[in-house]
Amino acid sequence: MSMRMSGEFKGSEALRRRMSEEQYEKLEAIPDTDVHRFIAESAELCEPNDIFICDDSPDDIAYIKHMAIASGEESAALETPGHTFHFDGYFDQGRDRATTKFLVPKGDNLSPHLNQIDRDEGLKEILGLLRGSMRGRTMIVRFLILGPPNSVFTIPCMECTDSWYVAHSVSLLYRKGYETFLKMKPGTEFFKTLHSQGRVDERKVSVDYKKRRIYIDYVTNTVYSVNNQYAGNSVGFKKLALRLTIRKAHREGWLAEHFMIIGVHGPGGRKTYIAGAFPSACGKTSTAMLQGEKILADDIAYLRNIDGVCRAVNAESGILGIIKDINPKDDPLIYEVLTSPNEIIFSNVLIKDARPWWLGMGCPLPEEGINHSGKWFKGKIGPDGKEVPPAHENARYTISLRALPNCDPSLDDPEGVELGGIMFGGRDYRAYVPVQQAYSWKHGIITYGAALETETTFAIIEERRKYEINVMSIQDFLSIPLGQYVKNYIEFGRKLKKVPLVFGVNYFLCDLKTGEFLNDKRDKHVWVKWMELRIHDDVSAIKTPTGLIPRYEDIAQIFKTLLDREYTKEDYMKQFTVRVPENLLKIERVRAFWESVPDAPEEVLEELNEQEKRLINAREEFGDYISPESFPEI
């Protein structure tokens, strides 16, 4: 089950030598010896001075927060009660794709697109880097759960770390799990993380970033992480454990997804849950935080077929959110939360006058302060030779979902919530309309989800390198073959008695001549409200070659009642004209991608080819750019 290290497992006596009687009693209460073994082997390898077992009591949770500050990993020198700040190293500011690898046993095969290393070789390297890494420190052990407690969705997990900041972060991001481990039957599958920040400097920042490694051992459901602090690399249960969960879901017939989930209010007081997958910077967080709606999840969701109904939960219970561009005009709700007394960890922002400052916050920023580079001033050049911005573009905030006034009350419902719809959204300047509904589950999963792409710049259409396909916005985290993943999706929908509607959204459609956006940032709320009505069959739609689109009268009414804005017919025509040439080029790109995937399901190319035929037939009848009014209403 566990990692293999030099020396034999010393059992309880090895643990007693590094633990007080009080700490040992907390661990001894957990009956699963695999838990004891993992902690003992981790301690034998990393050689901490002592071990702190968190039993989730208020005293233990408060002690961890206190130690995060006392250790210097966080600072509470901010004027707003509950706010602390943390800095990661200059070269430790985001997920590290290059050094995040799967440990693959000999004879096993993963997709060549996935970053991987031979398991024996990788274990030797990572264990060598972890050896002795906790000397002079405390190893903190956190017990957590993914998904709500006492649920078919529940996955127990544990993390051993020498970072009080990491231990504090998980208090905000995840549900407490010590009670689950007390009741856990021996042999229950659980996930494990061993993390060490490695050597740190006087600012308590990891210094050996060139030796940063994040290795995922799916044989033992273990994440190893060393020489880093950035939460996406050090908190094992973010995208790292998602890779393990995807494999578990594949074995058991459910879906682990990079989804946000919102509860959208509709007529008659009803609430409809809609999930959404978006690559970075494509509107995911702003959709999850739509004012007036409820947020259930912002990042990772689990979906199961329960009695023929698609039910979903948030794997987490907090947000590690990108803070850039949050301002009172565009994001009034979350801005209010971030500037009010709450338990929040700000990371890699600018600190000045006992306040956090970040890029795009809607006001002038100070010209000096402290940030991830140390003492900062305007024009400062960093160690990479580049000018240092006031705050990092990937600066973050960590907060419990329960601190948000719009947190959905069903967050911890063990049965999950019924999904009425799923949306897939990319950054598509040229082709797809702002919102459309798929003809069927399979059509939507393939032409919106499996075809999800992000265009990096408004460059000429022939520059294919400017497009990046990111299947379901989960491609970076897949731990099973890409084709198998899409097969699982198709099969999941096929087995449902009540199938969620699938939508494609595109908040970035531009005028082909001027390059100007055709959508206002607030328009997304209108598209979401239209989806809610379609899920309940309250409005009809127009059938185009790529999907079902809104009628002008319906969304004009939503614009008026929701945003108090007149929505003109001219705006509608610009946004919902079907652009045949751009859509055909999109199909060419997506088809070329899937033709390179060796295990791609036949349905993928079939759906793409059918959509191509519909577009060509429409062009023959109406031309290259077709008014939405040319198509039939259904």
**Higher-scoring residue by pLDDT: 65, 459:** 65
Q: What angle do CA 442, 446, 452 make, to 5 degrees?
A: 145
Write the DSSP string, 357-410.
E-TTSSSPPPSEEEETTEEEETT-B-TTSSBPPSS-TT-EEEEEGGGSTTB-TT
Write the DSSP string, 212-241.
-EEEEETTTTEEEEES---HHHHSTTTHHH
Cα dihedral across residues 627, 529, 260, 479: positive or negative: negative
Parallel/antiparallel/unpaired status of strands 213-217 and 625-626: unpaired
Nearest one of 251, 240, 249, 189 to 217, comparing CA atoms:
240
User: What are the structure tokens assigned to 36, written together?
Assistant: 């004891």
How many Cβ atoms sit within 10 Å of the Cβ of residue 452?
26
Q: What is the pLDDT of residue 240?
A: 87
| Per-residue pLDDT band at 516 (split at 50, 70, 90) | very high
Q: What is the pLDDT of residue 337?
A: 94
Q: How far apart are CA 571 and CA 569, in angstroms?
A: 5
| Per-residue pLDDT band at 11 (split at 50, 70, 90) | low
List phi, psi (to 5°) of 192.
Answer: -135, 145
Mean pLDDT taken over the chain: 93
Q: What is the pLDDT of residue 456?
A: 64
**Average pLDDT of 70-85?**
97
| Per annotation, catalytic residue among 282, 363, 407, 510 | 282
Q: What angle do CA 214, 374, 364 make, to 5 degrees?
A: 110
Q: How far apart are CA 23 and CA 53, in angstroms?
A: 6
The answer to whether residue 503 scores a pLDDT higher than 60 is yes
| Per-residue pLDDT band at 4 (split at 50, 70, 90) | very low
Terminus-to-terminus CA distance in the chain, angstroms? 56
Q: Between the CA of residue 295 and those of 309, 405, 407, 497, 540, what are the distances in Å?
A: 21, 9, 5, 26, 27
Lowest-pLDDT range, 107-121, 170-184, 578-592? 107-121
Q: How far apart are CA 177 and CA 158, in angstroms?
A: 8
Q: How far apart are CA 81 and CA 72, in angstroms?
A: 18
pLDDT per residue as tens digits for the range 546-577: 999 999 999 999 999 999 999 999 999 999 99
Q: Between the CA of residue 227 and those of 113, 162, 200, 595, what are the distances in Å?
A: 25, 11, 9, 39
Q: What is the pLDDT of residue 331?
A: 85
| Per-residue pLDDT band at 8 (split at 50, 70, 90) | very low
The answer to whether residue 152 scores a pLDDT higher than 60 is yes
Q: What is the pLDDT of residue 98?
A: 87
For residue 613, the 8-state DSSP code is H
Q: What angle do CA 23, 25, 181 make, to 5 degrees?
A: 95
User: What are the structure tokens assigned to 331, written together?
Assistant: 């994001």
Q: How far apart are CA 284 and CA 261, in angstroms?
A: 10
Task: Decide: 162 and 46 in contact? Cβ < 8 Å.
Answer: yes
Q: How far apart are CA 73 and CA 285, in angstroms?
A: 27
pLDDT per residue as tens digits for the range 275-332: 999 988 788 888 999 999 999 999 999 999 999 999 999 999 999 999 999 999 888 8
* Partners of 417 in the β-ladder: 312
CB-based contacts of 137, cutoff 8 Å, min separation 6:
48, 49, 162
Q: Between the CA of residue 210 and those of 121, 537, 572, what are the distances in Å?
A: 18, 55, 52
* Partners of 263 in the β-ladder: 273, 294
**Higher-scoring residue by pLDDT: 547, 5:** 547
Q: What is the pLDDT of residue 339?
A: 96
| Per-residue pLDDT band at 247 (split at 50, 70, 90) | very high
Q: What is the pLDDT of residue 461?
A: 38
Respond yes or no: is residue 282 known to be catalytic.
Answer: yes
**Average pLDDT of 392-412?**
96
| Per-residue pLDDT band at 455 (split at 50, 70, 90) | confident
How many Cβ atoms sit within 10 Å of the Cβ of residue 516?
8
How many residues are listed for the chain in this entry?
Answer: 634
How many Cβ atoms sit within 10 Å of the Cβ of residue 445?
24
CB-based contacts of 517, cutoff 8 Å, min separation 6:
508, 509, 510
pLDDT per residue as tens digits for the range 459-481: 333 444 478 899 999 988 888 98
List phi, psi (to 5°) of 362.
Answer: 90, 15
The answer to whether residue 218 scores a pLDDT higher than 60 is yes
Q: What is the pLDDT of residue 236?
A: 87
H/E stretch holding 59: helix 58-70
User: What are the structure tokens assigned to 561, written together?
Assistant: 């009642």
Parallel/antiparallel/unpaired status of strands 625-626 and 578-579: antiparallel
| Per-residue pLDDT band at 138 (split at 50, 70, 90) | very high
Ordered structural domains, the chain, with CATH: 11-73+95-252 (3.40.449.10), 256-315+412-630 (3.90.228.20), 320-403 (2.170.8.10)
For residue 93, the 8-state DSSP code is S
| Per-residue pLDDT band at 239 (split at 50, 70, 90) | confident
